Amino acid sequence: MDEVVIGVGATITVNVAGKVGIPASGVASVAVNIAASGRTSSGEVVAYPSGVAKPETTAVWFPELFYAHNLIFVKVGADGNIKLTNNDESSTVKVFVDAHGYTMSAPGSVAGSTLVPVKPARIGQVTVPANGSALVAPLGKAGIPSSGVSSALFTLSGKSDTNGLIVTYPSGEAQPGDTTLDYGKGLVVQNQIIGRLGTDGQIKITNMGTKAITLYLDATGYFAKPTAAVKGSTIAPITPDNLVTDVTVPANGTYTVGPLGHGGVPASDVSGVYLAITNYYSSGSGVLRVYPSGTAAPATHAVAFQQTRAYSGMLPAKLGADGKINIWNDSSSPIRLWVDQYAYFKTPKTGCTGALAPTGAKTETKASVAAPEPYNPMTVFQASPTAVGSLGVLELAYTDGIGRLMHGRADPNALGSTQWTPIQGQEGYYGQPALGEQADGRLNILAHNLSGDIWSRTQATKEPAAWGNWIDVNQAMGSTVTVARQDDALVAFAVDAAGALRALPQYAANDPYQGWITLGVTGLSTATAPLAIPVADGLRLFFLDASGSWRTALYARGTVSGCATLSDQGFSGNASVVTYPGSRLRIFVRGTDGHILTKTQDGSGNFPQAWDQVGDLIAAGSPSAVVSPGSGKTEVVVRGTDDRVHSTGETVQGSGAWRAWADAQPADDTSAPATDPTAFEYVGTNGSTWSYVFRTINQEPRFYWPEGETLQLAKSSPTFEGRALPKAPAAR
């Protein structure tokens, strides 16, 4: 709508369905920018769905003879229309209505983007020249990922000593005919923006004014593409609902809003709400800062205000852990506050279907401050090569009995050159650490800090290898951590102190971890870290519940589904999983009687009910398995009750028929494993092979490799050679 005049107290109908690219049916809400200007005085415009009574809310507060803007998600009536009412009793109001997007009441034939609200943070500022343009690149800033983003949501604010217009649009596209923001001499102005990105990931801002203007961009969320690493929330519009009416907030005071369970917003499974915030005739100037409860206040603008004027602003507000939102009056005078909500953001459905943990199962928990665990297994993997024809180094990590986190690097052809470096800094760690490789090849390590949190550290450069800073990913976990790759992004997994399964995703390749998300699976053991295995359609997770039953589920872009129970109760320890072509998996666990058990997915991806016993060995620890690159057979090693490592493997590829268990250490080797062995595949100058490592009671790392392995129908295990790796440096 262009320049439509709404009479005093009058209502107009805006036809939404079938207009400007919006579907003719099935539309739940429309994102519209409403620009309103009073002819003889100020007042308010109310926006709401057709077919319902006018609510006591404010969509935009308009001044006299100047256009105020608000971008708002408005629920669409059953007839495809929305209503606009001029609530002023003395002045007509002239309005423009521009569409910026829409949501559907049911999934469409083409998947749309989903909203990820973030804690407000400043993207930056930009000075746009007079009658000119500037480009803004929001990706990778203020909580917005560096890829997988279709649009950025941000508050655009500024002030000038002249009049003009601002237009925002995707870089590389023609300038549209609408206006994002009007600015006037000496006035503070702002508006919420859905900044659709150009193909270069940038947004263009054009200044239709005679002087340059400096604008501030404060991120409030982003729209994730359907192919993004993590699925965002869907937008569920409601009939506009008043949360707060004329509350006085003192100077420098904070008011807390609790939207859950109010006005059509559910009591749970909500990540945020879309709010309209109005400050009515304050006596001074200042800024309202809106942020999740329980977090520190940001240096961002939600609504900026000046003396003797009313201001309204919209934004998607992320909820705190307690489901509430803080509004801070950052000014030297009290304000009068109204808060309305127009939509909520429904978190993606996640959790398990299928067998659940037995009722009454108690969850194990760990103290928030733990003691070092001296004999946890080592983590090993081979990094990608740094150049064509080169071999990737072997990366090793473990924590020792005094809380040091040791990182080792080894040439796969010269293991005697292994170099160990303590990388814990001033902190202490426990449990088996996790190693992952960023999309750009830099090593990432995650470890359980003695405080209870998982800490993350990534190399600043791969060659020469140099570490960046430690990052504390706040929120205590009960289990240790594991990490795997989904597409080009890493995802870590752990069980929190309450027994709930959590994921820690990168939202884009090489990005920092954003924070733990809950996956809707509870009642798990904290004694065992989840295991994550890449498969064709996501990550296959294996985890132990508090009753000792092994369970599995599929993780895909922030959600889990299809949970199945794999065992009876009473199991403990860690699982090991190998992958066969076609993303078929075989899992190995230690049974309740100490025997090693296994089962394999069938052609439809399901695991059989029964376990197969692997030989007669009674194990003292958890198994570790690999598919031998040389023979294609599945090989297993495990610590026995005799303080020796034992080995078995298939007699024929994929047969599930096993050789007799045999000692996997040379006869003259007197080293006793104090940790469970870790088997791994790697590539050396002579080709692909596999080996295993453990540590002794004196923290001496030991390395073993098979000799004489062939493709023949071998009935006996290969012989093994072994050697001590260089020791880690002594503690200082």
**Tell me: the pLDDT tens digits for 676-731?**
999 999 998 888 999 999 999 999 999 999 986 644 445 567 888 888 888 887 65
Residue among 65, 62, 70 at smallest CA distance from 88: 62
User: Taking Cα atoms as reference points, which of 203, 235, 197 lies closest to residue 217?
Assistant: 203
pLDDT digits (tens, 9 = 90+) for 16-59: 999 999 999 999 999 999 999 999 999 999 999 999 999 999 99
- State the pLDDT at residue 3: 92
Please state, in angstroms and rounded to a whole number, the distance separating the CA atoms of residues 340 and 343. Answer: 10
The answer to whether the CB of 406 falls within 8 A of the CB of 400 is yes
pLDDT of residue 708: 67
Residue 382 has pLDDT above 60, yes or no: yes
Candidate from 434-438, 664-668, 714-718 with smallest mean pLDDT:
714-718
Q: Find all residues with CB under 8 Å of 402, minimum gap 6, and list them.
A: 372, 428, 731
Pick the CATH number of 1-105 from 1.10.472, 2.30.30, 2.60.120, 3.10.20: 2.60.120
At 283, the pLDDT band (50, 70, 90 cuts) reads confident
Percent of the chain with pLDDT over 90: 79
User: DSSP labels for 96-153?
Assistant: EEEEEEEEESS--SS---EEEEEEEEEEEEEEEPTTEEEEE--TTSTT--SSSEEEEE
Span 114-224: which CATH code? 2.60.120
Q: What is the pLDDT of residues 52-80, one digit of tens each?
A: 999 999 999 999 999 999 999 999 999 99
- Of the listed ranges 428-437, 605-614, 723-732, the one predicted with least confidence: 723-732
> Each residue of 474-522: pLDDT tens digit?
889 999 999 999 888 999 999 999 999 999 999 888 988 988 999 999 9
Q: How many helices (H) and strands (E) does the chain have?
A: 0, 52
pLDDT of residue 713: 44
As a whole number, mean pLDDT of residues 311-325 equals 94
pLDDT of residue 488: 87
Residue 472 has pLDDT above 60, yes or no: yes
CA distance between the termini of the chain:
73
Q: What CATH superfamily is the domain 575-732?
A: Fucose-specific lectin (2.120.10.70)
* Per-residue pLDDT at 366 exceeds 50: no
pLDDT exceeds 60 at position 304: yes
Q: With a cut of 60, say whether residue 359 has pLDDT above it.
A: no
Where would I find the H helices in 193-301? none
Q: Can you say whether the dihedral through the CA atoms of 279, 285, 291, 293 is positive or negative? A: negative
Average pLDDT, the chain: 92
Report the range of poorest mean pLDDT among 331-340, 634-643, 723-732: 723-732
* Residue 384 to residues 390, 391, 460, 683, Cα–Cα distance (Å): 9, 8, 16, 10
Which tens digit of pLDDT belongs to each residue from 520-568? 999 999 999 999 999 988 999 999 999 999 999 999 989 999 899 999 9
Least confident of 636-640, 659-663, 710-714: 710-714
Per-domain boundaries in the chain: 1-105, 114-224, 575-732
Domain 1-105 matches domain 114-224 at the CATH topology level: yes
Give the H/E segment covering residue 454: strand 453-461
Res. 356 pLDDT band, cuts 50 70 90: very low
Q: What is the pLDDT of residue 354?
A: 46
pLDDT 10s digits, 165-183: 999 999 999 999 999 999 9
Average pLDDT over residues 176-193: 93
| pLDDT over 90 at 572, yes or no | yes
The average pLDDT across 332-349 equals: 93
Residue 331: closest CA among 381, 287, 383: 287
Using one digit for the tens of pLDDT, what is the confidence trace for 233-277?
999 999 999 999 999 999 999 999 999 999 999 999 999 999 999
Compute the average pLDDT of residues 155-159: 95
